[in-house]
Amino acid sequence: MSIPQLAQPSDEDDAGASLEARAERAEAMYRSLVASLPAITYAEALDDGRTLSVSPNVQDLLGYTEDECMVDSLFWLQIIHPDDRDRVVESCRVANETGEPWEDEYRLFASDGRIVWVHDRATLVQGSSGQPLCWQGVMWDITPQKAAEESSGS
């Protein structure tokens, strides 16, 4: 059985395209990829932790709109379960100091009041000169795994 090949843009296509057209195509491809993931992707500012971007999947997983997540720099802090908040804040502080990749599992309150467990992983994005630009991360819904652990007594 033969697998059909997708048309790939050639180097000649890229050479003839303007920088703006290539950037637009790359942005469209990135947005399509992000929208297809069963996770929330985000970018966060270094200085105040405000959300710079968040994938539309936030509405499917948590019930919040992209705008709700980005309008208030304290939004994410407010929806973290109180029993997890101090630990998450401290681990973020350490990551901001060291620049090392950050990872944690914690609970969030969805807009309908449900508790959603997430596995959150972020890395520091650096510019061409090595300067830190922002944090970029992915939150995976691990609620089913946590429920299975709890029911098995793990």
Banded model confidence at residue 38, pLDDT cuts 50, 70, 90: confident
Indicate whether 117 belongs to any domain.
yes
**pTM for the full model?**
0.79
Q: Does the structure show a pLDDT above 90 at 13?
A: no
Give, as one character, the DSSP assignment of residue 100. Answer: -
Domain of residue 73: give its range. 24-152
Q: How many domains are there within the chain?
A: 1
> Alpha-carbon distance 109 to 81, whole Å?
7
All residues at 6 or more sequence positions from 38 whose CB lies less than 8 Å from its CB, including other chains: 57, 140, 141
Mean pLDDT of the chain: 87
Q: Tell me the average pLDDT across 33-42.
A: 79
Indicate whether 5 belongs to any domain.
no
Q: Does the structure show a pLDDT above 70 at 126?
A: yes
- For residue 78, give the CATH number of its domain: 3.30.450.20
Q: Tell me the average pLDDT across 91-97.
A: 94
> Alpha-carbon distance 81 to 108, whole Å?
6
Indicate whether 70 belongs to any domain.
yes
Indicate whether 14 belongs to any domain.
no
Stronger pLDDT, 34 or 95, i.e. the higher one = 95
Indicate whether 2 belongs to any domain.
no
Indicate whether 7 belongs to any domain.
no
Give, as one character, the DSSP assignment of residue 113. Answer: S
